[in-house]
Amino acid sequence: MGANPHSNGGLPLKALSLPDFRQFGVDIGTPGAVAGESTRIPGLSIRDVMKLSAEERNFRIFGPDETEPNRLAPVFEETDRIFTGEILASDPQLSRDRRCWRC
């Protein structure tokens, strides 16, 4: 992957559109009063990066088996999983398109 000019920040480098990080802050108020998970908020942030970079197509996420346990599933509101095997009607959110943006 490092030899690919699209993955090493070489000549095709494009600025990544990022959401305002402040919108993902968690208002604590009183310590212990808010239940939260440290990975759920970044999952929402990464979803928004996917949304903002849809036109440029310069952001991808890789996590074959860890997407759901790491609370990154909100990205599937913006894109599908890429799958090269047989896709059944019962398979959720799979695509053959290597750059699927809500195909």
Task: Quick: pLDDT tens for 40-96.
Answer: 888 899 999 999 988 887 888 876 667 788 888 888 888 877 777 888 888 777 776
Local confidence band at 21 (pLDDT 50, 70, 90 cut-offs) = very high
Q: Residue 103: what pLDDT?
A: 43
Q: Residue 52: what pLDDT?
A: 93
Closest C-alpha to 58, from 2, 9, 1, 3: 9
Domain that holds residue 64: 37-103
**DSSP string covering 30-43:** STTS----TTHHHH
Domain tally, the chain = 1
- Residue 5 tokens read as 């000019």
Separation between Cα atoms, residue 10 and residue 14, nearest integer Å: 10
Task: Please check whether residue 66 lies inside any domain of the structure.
Answer: yes
Residue bearing the bigger pLDDT, 9 or 60: 60
Task: Please check whether residue 12 lies inside any domain of the structure.
Answer: no
pLDDT of 102 higher than 60: no
Separation between Cα atoms, residue 100 and residue 54, nearest integer Å: 9
Separation between Cα atoms, residue 82 and residue 47, nearest integer Å: 16
